[in-house]
Structures are given as structure tokens and as C-alpha cells.
Amino acid sequence: MDAAAITVAGPLGKHLLGAHGSLAARLETAQRRLDEGPTMTALAKNGPIFAIAAGLSRWPQFEPVATASGLAIILALPLHPRRALPAALSLYRTTDDRLQEDDFGNALLFSDLVAEALANSSPDGLRQRLGHVGEETNVVHRATGIVAARQLLTPAEALSTLRERAATSGRSLAQVATEIVD
């Protein structure tokens, strides 16, 4: 993915919490202004939205903005933080390369980590906490590779194994991954 953004929905409307890349900032701003697009739909329906450039016609006002920006693919995932406002993570891609199964798994993993960060942060500490999510994702990726190599599993199977270990041990995915990498 080329860019990412997190949008939160609160009592006073939807707000961009943060964006990586000008493409994400521009398209998230357009979606909020137009009140339509994949991120807005993911928030409203509380479900994932995957769209390619050719399939943006269901958002007639957003489509020309996205097309002009060079958007090829967007994946908008609702976040399910325990104590925070509803939010969505949107991942943007400007090339129409075919996404692999691992791409979706990694996106879901990243959305889980972002949701955890949202749930465990006060509003004042939220931006600071989100900076650590990238580090945790790197550790989980490395641990996934180690488990896949040791147990002769696919990356998706290895990630599933890590999630299962985390759930049964009552620890976070990042904690289990760090233990394996260290």
C-alpha cells in the first residue's frame, strides 16, 4: 500500500486522526467533505470495504476525485476499539497490481494493532501511541516469518498460529511476537 489514514467518528462528526502520505490525506478529506466514499461506508456499515478504481461508481461524487488522484485500490477497515470512538483505517494503493492473500492478512493485522492502540490510549496520548504501532507490526512480521520457517507453514497459517498463542495466553500479539523474535 502507498498511503494510509485513520478517521474517527464522534458526536461532532468525522475527523482525520492521522494520515501517512498526501494521497491519503487528500482522499480522506474529500470523503469527509462529500460524506461518501469507502471510508465513510466502512464507518456507517461497520464492515470492510474493498474497492478498485473501476468500482468507485457507487460513490458518484468521490469517484472523480479518486480517479484524478491516481487511486487504483482502497481497503477501508472498521476498527473495533474497546473504549474509543468508532474509527476506520483506510489503505490506499496507486498501482493496480493484484493483491495477495498475505496483503489482506497484513491489513487485518495492522487494523487490529491500531484498534488496540486506540483502546489503550487517552485522547491526549493517542497520537504518541500510534507511533509505536509500526514498530509492533515489524515485530509481528518478523515473528510470522520465523514461525512459518520453523513449522513449514504459509505466512497466513503462521500469523493464525501467533494469534492463537496470543489469545490462549492472554497476551497481545505484539508480546507473543517479541518473545519469538528475541
Number of structural domains the chain divides into: 1
Q: Which three cell numbers stand for residue 2?
A: 502507498
Range scoring the smallest mean pLDDT among 15-29, 66-80, 95-109 = 95-109
Average pLDDT of span 149-165: 86
Q: Is residue 25 part of a domain?
A: yes
Q: Is residue 23 part of a domain?
A: yes
Amino acid 107 reads: A
Q: Is residue 176 part of a domain?
A: no
Query: Could you tell me the residue range of the domain that residue 28 belongs to?
Result: 3-99
Q: Is residue 90 part of a domain?
A: yes
Q: Which three cell numbers stand for residue 142?
A: 518478523
Strands (E), 67-161: 73-79, 87-93
Phi, psi of 125 (to 5 degrees): -95, 0
Which H or E run contains 110?
helix 101-119
pLDDT band, very low/low/confident/very high, at 8 (cuts 50, 70, 90): confident
Q: Which three cell numbers stand for residue 49?
A: 470495504
Q: Is residue 119 part of a domain?
A: no
Q: Is residue 91 part of a domain?
A: yes
CATH number at residue 76: 3.30.450.80
Tell whether the model's pLDDT for residue 56 goes beyond 60: yes
CA 107, CA 125: separation in Å to the nearest integer?
A: 24
Which H or E run contains 162?
helix 155-169
CA 140, CA 129: separation in Å to the nearest integer?
A: 17
Average pLDDT of span 159-165: 85
Q: Is residue 44 part of a domain?
A: yes
Q: Is residue 128 part of a domain?
A: no
